[in-house]
Amino acid sequence: MQAISDSEQMRLIQWNCFQSFRTKHERILKLQPDILVVCECENEERLEFGKLTPKPNSFVWHGELPAKGLGVFSYSDHRLEIMNAFNPEFKFVVPIRVSNSKSSFILLAVWTQKEKNAPIHEYINAVWNAIHYYEELFSEPVILAGDLNSNVYWNKSGKVGNHSDVVDFLEAKNVHSLYHRWKGIPQGNEPDPTFFLYRHKDKPFHIDYCFASETLLTDGFNVQVGLHENWCDLSDHVPLIIDL
């Protein structure tokens, strides 16, 4: 299959909903996502599709706690399937096949977090190790999207696998941060926060990202970042909205 065809358009939205997506979906679905990546999402049993949550055309979820995992919804004709290549060791970097009758690409859905017993798999380390493990997947069109809980601001001198290393690895695979390319700015210079500590407007950080293969960008793209005042009642994160 090819990447997204000339006649196709797709809106991908990434959002950490701060749990209880079943009570918060109305506002994000008004933005009409085709593919929706939701961190801190409950599982299908708790979402109660058709009752508490509008039923998507396709849905995958991975997590350890029923109330708090990584959910991906398709409200388009794209089907979602967790790939056989998925290694649970990288539990919140999940490779998903996204496909319809015309096209196919790989979505690496990400939600990094602290791992007390396995620091090698926490925060940006998890992404660094996972993208090396899944390196062969980058022979196809790839989108990597999610809450990375990371920024070049927190790079540690001399440490391999920091935020800049991840960005450099993806760039070498011709996979680019769409926000930074859209703004024409380097990592670390983001004027648009995606996260507000304790929901406080004076504690902003940019820690949510969407990277995409060059082959998916031939017809252009657009990026929007949600505003604190429109989302702070629901979550400490705002959505990242990508139109391809």
* Domain-embedded: residue 171: yes
* Domain-embedded: residue 213: yes
In whole angstroms, what is the distance from residue 139 CA to residue 24 CA? Answer: 36
**Measured CA distances, 104 to 191, 201, 217, 219 (Å):** 33, 39, 14, 16
* Domain-embedded: residue 4: no
* Domain-embedded: residue 5: no
- Give the domain CATH number at 108: 3.60.10.10
Tokens of 64: 């350890």
pTM attached to this predicted model = 0.95
**Measured CA distances, 17 to 96, 139, 218 (Å):** 20, 32, 31
* Domain-embedded: residue 3: no
* Domain-embedded: residue 149: yes
* Domain-embedded: residue 212: yes
Identify each DSSP E strand in 132-232 by its residue range.
142-147, 175-177, 195-196, 204-205, 208-213, 222-225
Query: What is the pLDDT, as a whole number, of residue 119?
Result: 67
Beta bridge partners of 71: 38, 61
**Measured CA distances, 213 to 10, 14, 136 (Å):** 14, 17, 14
When divided into structural domains, the chain yields a total of 1
Query: What is the pLDDT, as a whole number, of residue 1?
Result: 40
pLDDT tens, position by position, for the chain (244 residues)?
445 545 579 999 999 999 999 999 999 999 999 999 999 999 999 999 999 999 999 999 999 999 999 999 999 999 999 999 999 998 899 999 999 999 999 999 999 998 877 766 789 999 999 999 999 999 999 999 999 999 999 998 778 899 999 999 999 999 999 999 999 999 999 999 999 999 999 999 999 999 999 999 999 999 999 999 999 999 999 999 999 9
* Domain-embedded: residue 1: no
Query: What is the pLDDT, as a whole number, of residue 115?
Result: 81
Q: What is the domain range of residue 224?
A: 11-243
